[in-house]
Chains A and B, each alone.
Chain A
């Protein structure tokens, strides 16, 4: 069974920087997994932030960036704002099927 693991929770101060990671139990995450990142706030549908590792949607704030880091997909939030407090999910493509990560709850404190 394919499992995609994220940090359960992270805390960051306003204006600070935090990096979330996304690991696969099948091995290193590469660009071929087309990592996507989504933000979900309570009671809302998920919102797409990043696709194909590092590409931003037209609505994605500049402070969000995606990359590959040490065999994992990564989402970095720089200059964190209070409204960035949310659950973040990565999504990996396994050649015909997708698996979401376990999710990271980001608290801005």
Chain B
């Protein structure tokens, strides 16, 4: 059974940093690209970042470019999101999701349950 479990969320002050993790199980992790998506309270979905199977290709939404860094550890089956210079508008539930292939393209299938990040003083 494919499982994606996010962790690392919490309350953080503006300007500080936080690292999110996504533990993957039930599939061969390095066969798939992965993504982070966020959803602010009461709002829609926003793609944040994606990474190909071997970390050779990464992408970011303009809203987080230069502040967030996506990475993965295929030996440990983990996806990460390093979030720096956090702002109030980064407050959201952060999901990880699995792509259908090695790199971006066709679509996504499985999602985790999310981890909540609250940026407030």
Contacts and interface: CB of A to CB of B under 8 A. Distances in A.
Contact of A96 (B59, B95, B108, B109): B59
A98 B47 contact: yes
A98 to B, nearest CB: 4
Interface string A56-99: 01000000000000000000000000000000010101001111
Interface residues of B, number: 26
A45 B95 contact: yes
B63 to A, nearest CB: 10
List the 3 closest A-B pairs by CB distance, nearest first.
Answer: A51-B107, A98-B47, A36-B107
26 contacts: A1-B62, A38-B45, A40-B45, A45-B111, A45-B112, A46-B45, A46-B111, A48-B107, A50-B107, A51-B107, A51-B108, A52-B107, A89-B45, A91-B45, A91-B47, A93-B104, A93-B105, A96-B104, A97-B47, A97-B60, A98-B50, A98-B104, A100-B44, A100-B45, A100-B46, A102-B44
Interface of B: 35, 37, 44-47, 50, 57, 59-62, 95, 97, 100, 104-114
Interface of A: 1, 34, 36, 38, 40, 45-48, 50-52, 55, 57, 89, 91, 93, 96-103
